Amino acid sequence: MADTTVISKIAEHDKPQQSDLDKCVHCGLCLNACPTYRELGVEMDSPRGRIYQMVQIASGAPITDSYREHIDLCLACRGCESACPSGVQYGRLVEAARAEIETHTERPLGTRFVRSLVFKHLLQSPAMMTLAGSMIYLYQASGLQRLTRSSGLLKLFGKLGRLEQLAPPAEVPFFFNKIGRTYPAEGPKQRRVALMAGCLANVSFARLNEATVRVLQKNGIEVVIPDGQGCCGALHAHAGIRDEARKLARRNIDAVLGGGFDAVVTNAAGCGSTLKEYDELLEHDPAYAEKAQQFKKLMRDVTEVLGEAPLVAGMRNLPWRVTYQDSCHLAHGQKVRKQPRSLLKQVPGLEFREMPLSDMCCGSAGIYNVLHTEMSLNILERKMSAVNPMKVDVIATANPGCMLQLRAGARLFGSGQRVMHVVEVLDEAYKK
């Protein structure tokens, strides 16, 4: 039954804008780039179909459960944006559609509780993340995880059991204790950058953050991890919780601007595309619109910063066959495709193999794999069926969320390929 309970009013500028909707000429050239359409073959689960439904809502149709489901099932991967010849900014549209849904419908009590716990508390609280991370660490380090996985017990838990396969690791010591520190450049200092350490990444990708610092240092870059930073708000913006995303954006801008940095860097492509779009998020905030523009000008993915000059010499031979999975928010959201490949190709001995459909989403998409586990795993299985014949040792990518998903893919549908971030490959090469 349609649920159209209005629980609050949405600002006009947070709804899908008519000028954006009008750009779609319904040509359908985006359909094949859409993972949910490829999976289901249903027009309403294609970019064109979703835009058509947004147009109906903008014309006064009610927000129904069916509309919400089709919009929810979108990965927000923006593959359709790259395929679209008319320049439709689909990422902007789907975020606005979700913001409209969020304020016009009331979700079931349990869903609201989980969403509030995750978005308003867990992701914003280092203390809660440390607690959750410590519990995961105990589960993993005690051998309980190995036992549950090998015993077949997980099958009895249905969706919960499948979710366990996608759970992030906990890497002690967590990265939170590095926030506020400065790491000097090795050799003559070329630049000074601020590193955004992420939120969950402090717990689940602490070693990746450390590797990122080391590789930047090695390449003559001083790295500051500014105090006062926190979650970037990407997951909030993708889920349509825009006011919460704005709060987090203001906090990060305050933490970084005025620090005299040549760039602000992230190793998480999903965070990067939101960080680069703070100007859109805050364009109607008179106190922050200008600051958000300045922040956007400084924001870079780590592969962009490292790709500005040839890598410093001193890498050892890595006789690995490596392929690269484009992170959607790097390739489609930020249009960064060349740099990660070029960095990998500079590693001595490394054999680079191009993956077919490398910019097709792996099914990770923030917390999509948690909310739509079945669809996510189907997309992942399809991805791994393209990777397996390539006989590579390593799947490299540029986003922690994709790493988790691909690791599950290598375990469930692959041949145990190693999954690494591009900077982890470089870090490995720089090790003596």
Under the criterion CB under 6 A, does residue 42 sit at the interface with ligand SF4? no
Q: State which residue, 47 or 198, has the beta carbon closest to ligand SF4.
A: 47
- How far from the centroid of its chain's Cα atoms is residue 223's Cα? 22
d(CA 57, CA 63): 7
Applying CB under 6 A, which of residues 21, 34, 213, 330 lies at the interface with ligand SF4?
Answer: 34
Q: State which residue, 214 or 329, has the beta carbon closest to ligand SF4.
A: 329
Cβ 153 to ligand SF4 shortest distance, Å: 33
Classified as helix, coil or strand, 155 is helix
Phi/psi for 159 (5° steps) reads -60, -40
Q: State which residue, 30 or 355, has the beta carbon closest to ligand SF4.
A: 30
Applying CB under 6 A, which of residues 6, 7, 11, 27 lies at the interface with ligand SF4?
Answer: 27
Q: State which residue, 82 or 217, has the beta carbon closest to ligand SF4.
A: 82
Q: State which residue, 74 or 196, has the beta carbon closest to ligand SF4.
A: 74
- How far from the centroid of its chain's Cα atoms is residue 210's Cα? 19
Residue 203 CB neighbour total at 10 angstroms: 25
Q: State which residue, 263 or 269, has the beta carbon closest to ligand SF4.
A: 269
Cβ 99 to ligand SF4 shortest distance, Å: 16
DSSP state of 67: H
In the Cβ-directed half-sphere of 16, how many Cα atoms lie within 13 Å?
Answer: 28
Q: Which amino acid makes up residue 26?
A: H
Three-class SS of 347-392: CCCCEEECCCCCCCCCCCCCCHHHHCHHHHHHHHHHHHHHHHHHCC
CA dihedral 204, 211, 337, 39 (to 10 degrees): -20
Binding mask 61-100 for ligand SF4 (x = CB under 6 A): -------------xxxxxxx--xx-x-x-x----------
Size, binding site for ligand SF4 by CB under 6 A: 27
d(CA 91, CA 291): 23
Site for ligand SF4 in 44-63 (CB under 6 A): 47-48, 50-51
Applying CB under 6 A, which of residues 35, 133, 270, 307 lies at the interface with ligand SF4?
Answer: 35
Cβ 296 to ligand SF4 shortest distance, Å: 22
Phi/psi for 183 (5° steps) reads -120, 120
Token look-up 């159209």 returns 4
Applying CB under 6 A, which of residues 33, 331, 336, 343 lies at the interface with ligand SF4?
Answer: 33
Token look-up 């889920």 returns 239
Site for ligand SF4 in 89-148 (CB under 6 A): 90
Applying CB under 6 A, which of residues 21, 30, 253, 423 lies at the interface with ligand SF4?
Answer: 30
Is 16 in contact with 93 (CB distance < 8 Å)?
Answer: yes
Cβ 47 to ligand SF4 shortest distance, Å: 4
Cβ 171 to ligand SF4 shortest distance, Å: 30
**Strand pairing of 221-224 and 182-183?**
antiparallel
Note the residues at the interface with ligand SF4 (CB under 6 A). 24-30, 33-36, 47-48, 50-51, 74-80, 83-84, 86, 88, 90
